Amino acid sequence: MTSANDLSGITTAILVGGLGTRLRSAVADRPKVLAEINGRPMLSYLLDQVAQAGVRRVVFCTGYRGEQVQAAFGTRYGALQLEYSQEPTPHGTAGAIRLALPVLQSDPVLAMNGDSVCEADLRAFYTWHCGRGASASLLLTFTPDVARYGQVQTDPDGKVRSFQEKGSVTGLGWINAGIYLLSRASIETIPVDRAVSIEGEMFPAWIGQDLYGYQSQGRFLDIGTPESYAEAANFFSAQGQSA
């Protein structure tokens, strides 16, 4: 493990294998992680974020049209070394991480959804995770309406105590922002013989096993629907102005 504020030795796994069916009407010819925003693919914004945090190695967990991701980015992006773990069949969000474990060289692993971004301090998240001795930590963000995402509830010390499914609850609350720190031991508990969702299956199973939620105040965007994708240009324009 590297020191608690140094991410240079941490491998980042970015999940880019989703089918993107909800976004197909707006982005039909490529995986949604390559959807253009202000003339740049969505993934480039995530790579900028992890590079600025000090990460030096990224593994893309590819699936649907994974060859397009590899053609777009190759093996280098600035200071980042890029590698690929291609699913032979859909493995789900947890299964894709488990499949990539042999090339995820660090402990813990930083994992991210490729179709969302949260303006969070990743170094602070890592420091917090290490300080808790967590097996797995989710980065949480606050939203005025949790209905689309579901809600994550934590104890005062940050331990996750429950997940409420999307659509089952509304109003203010903390949601999963799609950024995780996962110990290798926790990844090894993911089944290997079927598709597995990290959100729907593994996180609930890890409650009570040093699963923590880190509360971030950063802005959040998920481009998974045509409506939210339409907001992306303004989101990233504002990000550039505040940088």
pLDDT at 118 over 50: yes
Among 31-35, 101-105, 175-179, 202-206, the least confident range: 31-35
Q: What is the pLDDT of residue 226?
A: 82
Does some domain include residue 2? no
Does some domain include residue 217? yes
Contacts 24+ apart (CB under 8 A), 163-167: 163/199, 163/203, 163/204, 163/207
Domain residue limits at 138: 11-242
Phi, psi of 112 (to 5 degrees): -145, 145
Does some domain include residue 89? yes
In the numeric block, which tokens belong to residue 86? 């291609």
Instruction: Give the contacts of 181 (CB within 8 A, at least 6 positions apart).
Output: 108, 109, 110, 111, 125, 126, 129, 134, 136, 137
Share of the chain above pLDDT 70, in %: 91
Phi, psi of 218 (to 5 degrees): -70, 155
Does some domain include residue 27? yes
Does some domain include residue 145? yes
pLDDT at 21 over 80: no
For residue range 175-198, what is the model confidence (pLDDT) as tens digits? Answer: 999 999 999 999 999 999 899 999
Q: What is the pLDDT of residue 24?
A: 47
Query: CA-CA distance, 95 to 13, in Å (whole number)?
Result: 12
Q: Which whole number is the average pLDDT over 141-151?
A: 91
What is the residue-averaged pLDDT of the chain?
Answer: 90
- Total domains present in the chain: 1
Pick from 109, 149, 158, 154: nearest CA to 10: 109
Among 19-33, 57-71, 123-137, 156-170, the least confident range: 19-33
Phi, psi of 6 (to 5 degrees): -120, 115
Does some domain include residue 33? yes
CATH number of the domain bearing residue 101: 3.90.550.10
Give helix then strand counts, H and E, for the chain. 8, 14
For residue range 34-91, what is the model confidence (pLDDT) as tens digits? Answer: 988 899 999 999 999 999 999 999 999 998 888 999 999 999 999 999 999 999 999 9
pLDDT at 22 over 80: no
Q: What is the pLDDT of residue 11?
A: 98
Residue 111 near residue 180 (C-beta atoms within 8 A): yes
Q: What is the pLDDT of residue 241?
A: 46
Strands 109-113 and 76-77, bridge-based pairing: unpaired
Does some domain include residue 1? no
Q: pTM, whole model, 2 decimals? A: 0.92
